[in-house]
Structure 1
Amino acid sequence: MEQLKWVVLAIAVVMYALVIAFQKKKVWFTSIAAILVIILGMIFPGGIFSIPEDILALEGSAPAHMYSLVHAFLDIINWNVILIYLGSMIIAALFIYSKVPVKIADAIVSGCKNTGIAMVAILAMTGIISIFVENVATVLVMAPIALALCKKLKIDPTFFMIGLAVMSNLEGTATLVGDPPSMIFASYAGYSFNDFFVHQNTLSIFFIVQTGMLAGCIFFYCFFAKNGKNKIESEGEPVVSWVPLVLLLLMIFGLAGVSFIHTSFEYTSGILVAILGLIGLLWYKFVQKKSADDVRTMVKELDWETIFFLLGIFVVIGGIRETGLLNDFAVFLAGITGGSKLLGFVIILVVSIVISGFVDNVPYIIAMLPVAESMAKTMELKPELFMFALLVGSCLGGNLTPFGASANIVAMGIVKKEGYPMKFSGWLKVGVPFTLITTTAAALLLWVLWS
């Protein structure tokens, strides 16, 4: 059975290689890999997935072989994360439809003294929205304002669109509902919504990320200061409805309230967000008097690819975790550090930045959280030091290249449609310094607070 761990690792390595090489088919590769892992688990009970002794004793019977299938779907797949992501995507789509984000951004632009401040204010607003709304949706919400401003200034919108993407990626890390990696981290570490602000009487990941945001705003002000200092008036756009904003606030405060409820039921947060999303769809259909086709179109345009991608990744990484490979990797990394807390911190941070610059950070987060925690425990440190370093490095590292995050790809598509094809080198001009500056700022505060 020992060799099965290497078979599962080989499946994962091939899966990752194919995902990187053929991004458009990534769901196929993760799904096939997940099916292979489940089949192996069924053929060799106890060889991959953990099975209780009383069921394992029935190895020759159907229950022992079927347990891996049931265990994979009910325990390995994190349905709470799936429900939160699905519900928040629906609310985000309705939020875009409402035009409320555009109204808020217009007010910010009108209140700014010059274009440099206005551009940074829009980027800051992008970050604030991304705290609670999925990153891709945030870029789509703010893109029209950014493009309109660039047209008035008669400048290439490429770098401004890069700014929208990287700022949304940065702030998506700040709260439980901002981005899938944060949801995954919260589920793994047992963090409530409030723990992202204060945990164990210490400032938590929210404030660490805000340090990076302040550094990012300073960087972009210096970058865009050359575009002139004349005041630009924005053109107002009427709000369709305030209801999606109410749903968004209910989601935020509801998740905060649920964090105070101590229960063994694992899906409270996910069901809450999913119900709010369903209410939003019903409001869209009956109050806004949309046709069934309109509702189907909205649902169809949700990011289902990421949902199915997550399902496959959960199974494959779950298989790796339960075979003990991650514990072996943790011991290896802890050995490399030689017991040095600072070296371990830097290794996790740097490796996370580099890998996430080219690979989707969701599977990386799922795979590495147990590694970071095991490393910290092996070295008798607070697990938050390494787990936060992993979260900061992997989420901010996605800003490094145009392929490091979904929001980056969306931003490239928008400017290409506007007639400004984005080059890889053009992204690096902004992405590299932004990533280094923001990650360094966040890492310094993280070290001071949790080391």
Structure 2
Amino acid sequence: MSDWHGWAAVAVFAGAYFLIISEKIHRVAAALGGAGLMLAIGATDDTAAFHSDETGIDWNVIFLLMGMMMIVGVLKRTGLFEYLAIWSVKRARARPFRVMTMLILITAVASALLDNVTTVLLVAPVTLLVCDRLRLPAAPFLIAEVFASNIGGTATLVGDPPNIIIASRAGLTFNDFLVHLAPLCAVLTVVLLALCRVMFAGAFVYDEKHAAELMELREREAISDPRLLAQGLGVLTLVVAGFVLHPVLHHEPSVVALLGAGLLIAISKVETGEVLGEVEWPTLAFFAGLFVMVGALIETGVIGSLASSLAAAIGGDELGGSMLLLGGSAVLSGLIDNIPYVATMAPITDQLVTDMGGEPDHVLWWALALGADLGGNATAIGASANVVVLGIAERNRRPIGFWQFTKYGLVVAAVTIALAALYLWLRYFASAFA
């Protein structure tokens, strides 16, 4: 950060961040305004903001979200989400905490197999319908699902975008993530259930009348268009297969999602304009503004300076370095989206691992992944899934404020990061002290 552009970029980002967390103006206006100021002061330019892989808008994320939103928009017309809402509530006997437990477990597992953003796009509409039926506040259930999606997504290579970046840089495989991170994520999911039981205790009010009414419903009657449902599920299956076969097909998830959305519109009778109306355009605009602002911090060397300082503090100390990288990544990923942070930190971590003579599956990579993925739970803008769910909640007139989310997110992030630190020590260092 050698000139005034760096300090100006920090000031603009801090100002926009303050407006977002204070909710004095809409977060989309704050993000786009901040992005515009970054361009106006020369902290970044149009080429870097719109075309650079390192410092520009991550179009893969934008178009992945848009494609999946279109597919979900078609599926909403079939009655599928009503079916799933009734089915899940009946299996949980309409008990609120049992319902939350089921949704958390489904979200965590699906996020590991798909990715956390796709999962919340599918699960959030079901959650809203469940809460409507049982007359429950939606916010606690949606927030809990975000936490579950980020924890579950940590377990696999495809579960969270930062993991894909780390795997590409380090040469890690799908099985590497399963072996090193999945056991911890299973434990953290159980811990999350216990935390939610305490944090959201006031939301678990059992309404016997509405519960009885719902238990009498037949879920099959909720399906309004079986033909469209078959088409939608067929396309969704192909899209999921495309995600899983990424190492073979080499098509980005965004390409797969857009192809799926285009195919579904082509084979169904749904109007294109109606499908596009289901897209959460404010959410996509917010992401674009956030990417430009963070890209400006990268362009001016701000994030690079922070990452280099972290690397200098680590030196050759594997244990201290792992803990510092875990904690530092958690803090920074809570403040900025974890995707650009990991993209910046991955080459520095790679150099650290090389200097230490480590193997590709070195502990520093797992510290980076855990810090970035779990730290994303800390604030409302720390991870992509967080922003998507807040957008869905607002669209359905159940807005979740920045601090309403963050006051719980900080607790979950602190507990899971502490357990991650214990896990890293026990698995990779404890034997050396025995």
1:440 has 2:418 as partner = yes
Contact 1:396–1:435 under 8 Å retained in 2: yes
> How far is the alpha carbon of 1:446 from its aligned partner?
4.4
Which whole-Å CA distance do the structure 2 matches of 1:444 and 1:122 have between them?
Answer: 27
Which whole-Å CA distance do the structure 2 matches of 1:176 and 1:11 have between them?
Answer: 36
Q: How does 1:222-261 map to 2 (within 5 A)?
A: 227=204, 233=214, 236=219, 237-238=222-223, 240-260=228-248
Secondary structure of 2:229's counterpart equals coil
Amino acid across the alignment from 1:431: G
**Could you list the per-position Cα deviations for residues 142-190 of structure 1 after superposition, in whole angstroms to 9, with x for gaps in the alignment?**
3444344445555444322321222223334344444443343344334
Which whole-Å CA distance do the structure 2 matches of 1:384 and 1:107 have between them?
Answer: 44
Which whole-Å CA distance do the structure 1 matches of 2:144 and 2:89 have between them?
Answer: 16
Aligned to 1:287: 267
One of 331, 341, 346 as aligned partner of 1:364: 341
Amino acid across the alignment from 1:374: Q
Contact 2:242–2:256 under 8 Å retained in 1: no
Aligned to 2:25: none
Contact 1:88–1:134 under 8 Å retained in 2: no
Contact 1:215–1:441 under 8 Å retained in 2: no
> How far is the alpha carbon of 1:216 from its aligned partner?
1.4
Amino acid across the alignment from 2:318: K
Which whole-Å CA distance do the structure 2 matches of 1:38 and 1:421 have between them?
Answer: 32
- The verdict on how the C-alpha distance between 1:248 and 1:273 changes in structure 2, with shifts beyond 3 A counting, is farther
Q: Which has the larger radius of gyration?
A: 1
Once the two structures are overlaid, the 10-residue window that deviates more, 408-417 or 87-96, is 408-417
Which whole-Å CA distance do the structure 1 matches of 2:390 and 2:190 have between them?
Answer: 25
- The verdict on how the C-alpha distance between 1:225 and 1:300 changes in structure 2, with shifts beyond 3 A counting, is closer
- The verdict on how the C-alpha distance between 1:246 and 1:179 changes in structure 2, with shifts beyond 3 A counting, is farther
- The verdict on how the C-alpha distance between 1:414 and 1:182 changes in structure 2, with shifts beyond 3 A counting, is same
**Could you list the per-position Cα deviations for residues 343-377 of structure 1 after superposition, in whole angstroms to 9, with x for gaps in the alignment?**
22222222222333333323322222233333344
One of 390, 393, 408 as aligned partner of 1:430: 408
Once the two structures are overlaid, the 10-residue window that deviates more, 155-164 or 234-243, is 234-243
The number of residue pairs the alignment matches comes to: 402
> How far is the alpha carbon of 1:15 from its aligned partner?
5.1
- The verdict on how the C-alpha distance between 1:379 and 1:308 changes in structure 2, with shifts beyond 3 A counting, is same
**Could you list the per-position Cα deviations for residues 359-404 of structure 1 after superposition, in whole angstroms to 9, with x for gaps in the alignment?**
3323322222233333344444456422322222222223223453
Secondary structure of 2:277's counterpart equals helix
Aligned to 2:374: 396
Q: How does 1:291-330 map to 2 (within 5 A)?
A: 291-298=271-278, 301=281, 303=284, 305-307=286-288, 309-310=290-291, 313=294, 317=298, 320=301, 325=305, 328-330=308-310
Which whole-Å CA distance do the structure 1 matches of 2:161 and 2:424 have between them?
Answer: 21
Aligned to 1:349: 326
Aligned to 1:107: 87
Q: How does 1:111-130 map to 2 (within 5 A)?
A: 111-112=91-92, 115=95, 116-130=97-111
Amino acid across the alignment from 1:17: A
Amino acid across the alignment from 2:70: A
Q: How does 1:10-409 map to 2 (within 5 A)?
A: 10=7, 12-14=9-11, 16-23=13-20, 24-27=29-32, 29-30=34-35, 33=38, 36=42, 73=51, 76=54, 82-83=59-60, 86-87=63-64, 89-99=66-76, 100=80, 103-104=83-84, 106-112=86-92, 115=95, 116-131=97-112, 135=116, 138-139=119-120, 141-151=122-132, 153-191=134-172, 195-198=173-176, 203-221=179-197, 227=204, 233=214, 236=219, 237-238=222-223, 240-260=228-248, 268-270=250-252, 273-275=254-256, 277-284=258-265, 286-298=266-278, 301=281, 303=284, 305-307=286-288, 309-310=290-291, 313=294, 317=298, 320=301, 325=305, 328-335=308-315, 339-382=316-359, 384-405=362-383, 407-408=385-386
**Could you list the per-position Cα deviations for residues 2-36 of structure 1 after superposition, in whole angstroms to 9, with x for gaps in the alignment?**
xx855674465345334423553434544764794
> How far is the alpha carbon of 1:299 from its aligned partner?
6.0
> How far is the alpha carbon of 1:121 from its aligned partner?
0.3
Structure 1: gaps spanning 5 or more residues: 41-68, 262-267
> How far is the alpha carbon of 1:203 from its aligned partner?
0.9
- The verdict on how the C-alpha distance between 1:373 and 1:106 changes in structure 2, with shifts beyond 3 A counting, is farther
The two structures have a TM-score, normalised by structure 1, of 0.69
The two structures have a TM-score, normalised by structure 2, of 0.72
Please, what is the CA RMSD of the aligned residues? 4.4
> How far is the alpha carbon of 1:341 from its aligned partner?
2.4
**Could you list the per-position Cα deviations for residues 26-66 of structure 1 after superposition, in whole angstroms to 9, with x for gaps in the alignment?**
345447647946779xxxxxxxxxxxxxxxxxxxxxxxxxx
Which whole-Å CA distance do the structure 1 matches of 2:118 and 2:13 have between them?
Answer: 26
Structure 2: gaps spanning 5 or more residues: 21-28, 430-434
- The verdict on how the C-alpha distance between 1:252 and 1:440 changes in structure 2, with shifts beyond 3 A counting, is farther
> How far is the alpha carbon of 1:122 from its aligned partner?
1.3
- The verdict on how the C-alpha distance between 1:433 and 1:295 changes in structure 2, with shifts beyond 3 A counting, is closer
- The verdict on how the C-alpha distance between 1:149 and 1:329 changes in structure 2, with shifts beyond 3 A counting, is same
- The verdict on how the C-alpha distance between 1:313 and 1:214 changes in structure 2, with shifts beyond 3 A counting, is same
**Could you list the per-position Cα deviations for residues 279-320 of structure 1 after superposition, in whole angstroms to 9, with x for gaps in the alignment?**
422421x32223342354356837254356546755763674
Amino acid across the alignment from 1:391: A
Amino acid across the alignment from 1:287: I
> How far is the alpha carbon of 1:274 from its aligned partner?
1.0
**Could you list the per-position Cα deviations for residues 392-435 of structure 1 after superposition, in whole angstroms to 9, with x for gaps in the alignment?**
22222232234534544565576678887767665455333322
Amino acid across the alignment from 1:371: I
Contact 1:385–1:447 under 8 Å retained in 2: no
Contact 1:326–1:371 under 8 Å retained in 2: no
Which whole-Å CA distance do the structure 2 matches of 1:259 and 1:203 have between them?
Answer: 18
